[in-house]
Amino acid sequence: MSGVETRRVDAAGLAEAVEAAVDCLSAGEVVALPTETVYGLAADATRPEAVLKIFEAKARPLFDPLIVHLPGMEWIERVCALEQGLRRQVEALAAAFWPGPLTLVLPRQPRVPDLVTSGLETVAVRISAHPVFDAVVRRFGRPLAAPSANRFGRISPTAAGHVLEELGGRIPLVIDGGPCRHGIESTIVAPAGEELRILRAGPVAPSDLERFGTVRMISGVKEVRPEAPGQLASHYAPRTPMRLRVGDEWPEGVGVLFWRGQPEPRGRCEVLSPAGDLREAAMNLFAKLRQLDESGVTEILAEPVPETGVGIAIMDRIRRAAHRGV
């Protein structure tokens, strides 16, 4: 963890932390910042040499495009090329969900660096609702490219300590804004005519999107050439083998991830939400997975959660964490 500065943000320290982050970004460096979904690793989206440092720190393949976080709605036309119908659709979605955990995949403006979009003709954009991220991107005054602040394929960080575990020694600065509210990555949607294609399930559920178009879930597991690498079969993965739990018996030495209720007094187990609240379960998912992963158990068994609302995104992540094929 050598060489990483961590700034904890409290009310008094916000301005100072924002300055430190903006200084770093202006110098063409990367900074880990809290968002309402997971911690992001941010760089100036307009400077390819800065964006490259994100890929290097994460060991992320260059074919995996990044999400661009806008300082505000006034940036949308500078980054995206929107014909009239699409602009109206985007404005309606933005009014409902921005700032917030919805990413839109839209036709790009030519000035967006190829490195950001992996050479695609589209760019993924959102506006974050996190007060720290919001303050940094506004003060910086330019869009930030920011994928999750973890090594490629690993569990996304939902606390500053997770970022240090993943990227300690590889990045200069982490801004610690406490645990992330949603705890799961943004919903990614590609509008296509009347259709809203969900490329990645997230905190914004399909039912939330229905009044804006015909919702189609594309976010299945794909083995090759995914539209979004969040679609890679094996992603968000612990190092310990994991599978969905079936039945009430399990061997010794195994860790169990329950979705609700009281922990059973046998072996190592964690509960996503004792009261059975899916939002709380989403918030806790990655931290609990990390704890089990680090506890020395030989296998992790995960109890399925109901697939409604954000439960759809939770099961999507659990299935990918359990998939070891790719």
Pick the closer one to ligand AMP by CB: 104 or 254.
104
Residue showing the smallest CB distance to Mg ion in the complex: 148
Cβ 309 to ligand AMP, closest distance in Å? 20
| 148 near Mg ion (CB under 5 A) | yes
Question: Cα dist. 211→61, 187, 196, 259, 298 in Å?
Answer: 36, 16, 10, 30, 45
Cβ 67 to ligand AMP, closest distance in Å? 5
Cβ 105 to ligand AMP, closest distance in Å? 4
For helices 278-294 and 160-167, give the axis angle rounded to 10 degrees. Answer: 40
| 46 near Mg ion (CB under 5 A) | no
- H-type helices in 42-130, by residue range? 48-58, 76-79, 84-97, 114-117
Q: Which does 120 bind (CB under 5 to 8 A by kind): Mg ion, ligand AMP, none?
A: ligand AMP
Cα–Cα distance for residue pair 172/169, rounded to 1 Å: 7
Supply φ then ψ for residue 77, to 5 degrees: -75, -20
Region near ligand AMP per CB under 6 A, out of 76-84, 226-234, 297-305, 312-320: 226-234
| 42 near ligand AMP (CB under 6 A) | no
Calculate the CA dihedral of residues 164, 137, 19, 203 and round it to 10 degrees.
Answer: -40
Sign of CA dihedral 270, 275, 276, 281: negative
Cβ 103 to ligand AMP, closest distance in Å? 6
> Given the structure tokens 């990045």, which residue do they identify?
171
Region near Mg ion per CB under 5 A, out of 84-92, 146-154, 160-168, 187-195: 146-154
Question: Cα dist. 151→51, 155, 202 in Å?
Answer: 15, 8, 20
Cβ 216 to ligand AMP, closest distance in Å? 15
User: What mask, x for binding ligand AMP by CB under 6 A, covers residues 109 to 138?
Assistant: --------x--x-xxx--------------
Question: Cα dist. 70→48, 208, 309 in Å?
Answer: 17, 22, 26
Residues of the shown chain interacting with ligand AMP in the complex, contacts defined by CB under 6 A: 64-67, 105, 117, 120, 122-124, 147-148, 185, 188, 199-200, 227-230
